[in-house]
Every structure is written in structure tokens, then in C-alpha cells.
Amino acid sequence: MKANAKADVANRASALAQQLSDALVRERVVPRFVDSYVVDHGRYGLQVHAGLYRDLLALLQREALLAMSAHALEIIAKGTGGRQKSKPTPLNRKEAAAFRQKFLAALARQQRWNAGAALEFQSDLQMYEDILARASGTRRSRKPFEAANHPFVDRGGFLLDSSFLENARLAASRALTSLEELTAQVTDLVLHESPLSKSAKQS
């Protein structure tokens, strides 16, 4: 891969990491997810202790970032996103691995993770990707009362309210839809700042 192509990949990966993180905070997907669940199901106890509530939001924010990262990397690697008339070209394995590495490094810097936290996030992301890869053949549209088959739904639902898990999973499933829509929008913008695939293919 030529130097300019490597720089392009690094710049795009860094931009994607930053913009995903910013969008997650700006759009308040996680706080809205939790607050609406509390109101809908009368689970006001989840908000009684300010410290525990902040910890819950932080844990769910991390799970949301995992879900967004997995979805964005899938779009980048497979060329499944993008504008209707300008689909990104799928990357080969080497290109996808390079982008993933740069993305995770940029995310670790932006989140100010130490080495242990960065490795733990990478491990959890790999788990997300493995589960989603196994489920890819059975994905289908779901009814409003069905929870998605997705690690964010299972993990997020358990973190939110393990005592009423099915209600929490349905709420997490709705939040996942918002996260994936937001991820597609952000990734589309980053992809079309300048064509990643074009510069990568010049390597």
C-alpha cells in the first residue's frame, strides 16, 4: 500500500472513530433509551441513586460504542452502506484489517483508554463481530414486539434491568435500531469525504 493510501486509511479511520463517538454523545441515544424505559415501565428505582445511574449510563454507552463500531466496520469492509448511487467498494482482507487497526488505535486515543481497557474493548468487539457473523445468515426484519438477535440487545438488556429482562431486551432492540441508523449516517459521511476504496486500490 502506497504512503498516500496508508495516510488516507489512517485519516479516515481516525475521523470515523471521532465522529462515531461524538454522534453517540450528541444524539443522547443511551440516556434516551434508559429514561424512556424507566418511564414506560415505572422502573424509577434505576434513577434513584445518582452514582449508580451514572455508572449504568457509562456501561451502556460502552456497549453502544461496541455496537456502532461493529456495524461501521462491517459497512467499511463489505461495502454494504453508502449512498444509493455511490456504494463503497468492498475492501480486501488486508485493507479491512489495516482500517480496523487504525480505527481501534484512534478510538483508544480519543477515549483515553489505557492498554488494558483498549485490549478489553478489542476483545469485546471481536466477540460482537463473531456473534454477528454467525447470525448473518438468519437476519430478517422483525416485528415491533420482537427483540433483535444481537449482543447489544442481550448485554444491554441485562445491564439495564436483569429483573425484567424481556422488557429490557425489547427496549435495547429499539435503541439498537437508532444506533445502527446513526452509524450508517456517520459512516456514509466519512466514506464520501474522499473515496477510501479508490485510494486503497492504488496500492
For 54-122, the three-class secondary structure string (H helix, E strand, C coil) is: HHHHHHHHHHHHHHHHHHHHHHHHHCCCCECCECCCCCCHHHHHHHHHHHHHHHHHHHCCCHHHHHHHH
Say if CB 189 and CB 19 are below 8 A apart.
yes
pLDDT at residue 5 tops 70: no
User: What integer pLDDT is reported at residue 200 of this predicted model?
Assistant: 41
User: What integer pLDDT is reported at residue 123 of this predicted model?
Assistant: 97
Q: Could you give the maximum distance between any two Cα atoms of the chain, in Å? A: 57
pTM of the shown model: 0.85
Mean pLDDT, to the nearest integer, of 31-47? 95
Name the band, by pLDDT with cuts 50, 70 and 90, for residue 168.
very high
Pick the more confident residue, 65 or 201.
Answer: 65
pLDDT at residue 174 tops 80: yes
Pick the more confident residue, 85 or 199.
Answer: 85
Q: Supply the mean pLDDT for the chain.
A: 85
Name the band, by pLDDT with cuts 50, 70 and 90, for residue 193.
low
Mean pLDDT, to the nearest integer, of 20-43? 96
User: What integer pLDDT is reported at residue 196 of this predicted model?
Assistant: 44
List, for residues 76-131, the tens digit of each pLDDT value.
888 755 544 455 567 778 888 889 999 999 999 999 999 999 999 999 999 999 99
Ramachandran assignment for 42, one of left (phi > 0), alpha (psi -120 to 50 degrees), beta (any other)? left
Mean pLDDT, to the nearest integer, of 187-201? 62
pLDDT at residue 40 tops 90: yes
Q: Where are the domains of the chain?
A: 3-193
Mean pLDDT, to the nearest integer, of 47-72? 96
Least confident of 47-51, 66-70, 177-181, 195-199: 195-199
